[in-house]
Amino acid sequence: MRGVVFNGDRDLEIAEFDDPSPGPDDAVVAMKASGMCGSDLRFYRAAPGAALAAFGLSGDTGGIIAGHEPCGIVVALGANVDQRAVRVGDRVMIYHYDGCGYCDRCRTGWTQMCQRGATIFGATAHGGHADFIKVPARTLVSLPDDVSFTAGAAISCGTGTAFGALRRLNLDACDTIAIFGQGPVGLSAVQLAAAMGAEVIAVDVQADRVTRAMEFGAAHAIDSSSADPVAAIKELTGGAGVSCALDCSGAPVARVAAVKSAAQWGRVAFVGEGNDVTLDVSPDIIRKQLTILGSYTFSLTGQADCARFVAAHGLDVDRLFTDRWNLADAAQAYTEFDKQAGGKAVIEF
Q: Are 198 and 191 in contact (CB under 8 A)?
A: no
b/e sequence 27-39, b meaning 16+ C-beta within 10 Å: bbbebbbbbbbbb
The pTM of the whole model exceeds 0.75:
yes
Q: Is the dihedral of CA 234, 236, 242, 245 positive or negative?
A: negative
What does the pLDDT read at residue 54? 63
C-alpha 129/C-alpha 349 separation (Å) is: 10
What does the pLDDT read at residue 340? 87
Residue 289 in 3-state DSSP? coil
Measured in whole angstroms, the distance separating CA 104 from the mean position of its chain's CA atoms is 23
C-alpha 161/C-alpha 299 separation (Å) is: 9
Tell me the pLDDT tens digit for each residue of 42-100.
899 988 777 676 666 666 556 899 999 999 999 999 999 999 999 999 999 999 999 99
Tell me the pLDDT tens digit for each residue of 15-46.
999 999 999 999 999 999 999 999 899 899 98
The low-confidence residues of the chain, meaning pLDDT below 50, are none
* DSSP track, 192-241: HHHHTT-EEEEEESSHHHHHHHHHTT-SEEEETTTS-HHHHHHHHTTTS-
Q: Are 52 and 61 in contact (CB under 8 A)?
A: yes
HSE (side-chain half, CA atoms, 13 Å) at 337: 28
CB atoms near residue 253 (< 10 Å): 15
CB atoms near residue 54 (< 10 Å): 14
Nearest Cα residue to 33 out of 68, 7, 63? 68
- For 33, list phi and psi in degrees, rounded to 5: -155, 135
